Amino acid sequence: MYIRKLYTLVFLRNDTHILLGLKKRGFGVNKWNGFGGKVEADETILDAALRELKEECCVTVDRDNLKNIGHLEFTFTGEPTLMDVRVFSATVFEGTPTETDEMSPKWFPYTEIPFEDMWPDDVIWFPYMLKDKLFFGKFHYKGYDTILNYNVEELESMQKFYHDKTK
Ligand SMILES: COc1nc(N)nc2c1ncn2[C@H]1C[C@H](O)[C@@H](COP(=O)(O)OP(=O)(O)OP(=O)(O)O)O1
């Protein structure tokens, strides 16, 4: 039995590039990732996603333009927590991505995503996101570098996924 903790992870994209941030501190330091963090007790998942994006790279997105595209679950041998990460994508945003205390943002062409400096799971599920497919991925790690087992599946609808999950 795991203690489930909710996180958000947001990617800004256009036709040719994706915005990643180099994490400057804390969990995942020195890795490129999307923008996100813990969902606080008093906020919705969507509000947390918008807040973290603003805090980490100074960009705002209208809530109607933020699309929930995936669900990731991470567990780690010997640790009681299951990280429940809600993945979002947006193509319309306001502001210029700007470095903050937490993240240094940079646009990458889709052909040059720096998977060698990212979480090892990313190379497995990014192809779903890049092909605009909805997905559910589960990854069990030993430490933070080795994936012991995983499964990723394409979803037909996030709404149906969450409906079936709570049945
Ligand atoms: C284990 O594999 C992971 N892969 C990817 N791509 N992203 C991950 C993985 N594990 C966690 N994440 C994401 C989920 C969140 O977006 C961040 C972690 O959030 P963080 O711990 O930085 O949360 P904050 O609320 O910002 O934390 P502090 O304010 O306490 O620094 O990584």
Give residue 34 CA to ligand 1 midpoint distance, Å. Answer: 9
Please give the average per-residue pLDDT across 9-25, as a whole number.
Answer: 98
Cβ pair 25, 106 in contact under 8 A? no
What is d(CA 107, CA 17) in angstroms, rounded to the nearest whole number?
6
Pocket mutation for ligand 1, best pick of 23, 27, 50, 149 (most atoms within 8 Å of C-beta)? 27
Report the DSSP pairing between strands 81-90 and 103-109.
Answer: unpaired
**Closest to 37 measured CA to CA, from 10, 3, 74:** 10
As beta bridge partners, residue 16 has: none
What is d(CA 163, CA 2) in angstroms, rounded to the nearest whole number?
21
Cβ pair 18, 110 in contact under 8 A? yes
Atom of ligand 1 nearest to the CA of 33: 6
Q: Is any ligand 1 atom within 6 A of the Cβ of residue 85?
A: yes
Q: Residue 1 above 90 pLDDT?
A: no
What is d(CA 10, CA 74) in angstroms, rounded to the nearest whole number?
17
Q: Residue 167 above 90 pLDDT?
A: no
Burial of 58 per CB tally in 10 Å (0-12, 13-18, 19+): middle
**Is the ipTM, as predicted for this complex, more than 0.95?**
yes
Two tokens, residue 57: 């790279």
What is d(CA 131, CA 143) in angstroms, rounded to the nearest whole number?
30
Q: Residue 8 above 90 pLDDT?
A: yes
- CATH classification for the domain delimited by 3-166, as one of 3.40.50.2300, 3.90.79.10, 3.20.20.140, 1.10.3720.10: 3.90.79.10
Please give the average per-residue pLDDT across 6-22, as a whole number.
Answer: 98
Task: Give Cα 120 to chain centroid, integer Å.
Answer: 13
pLDDT in the model for residue 31 = 98
Please give the average per-residue pLDDT across 57-76, as a whole number.
Answer: 98
Provide the residue ranges of all domains of the chain, joining segments of one domain with +: 3-166
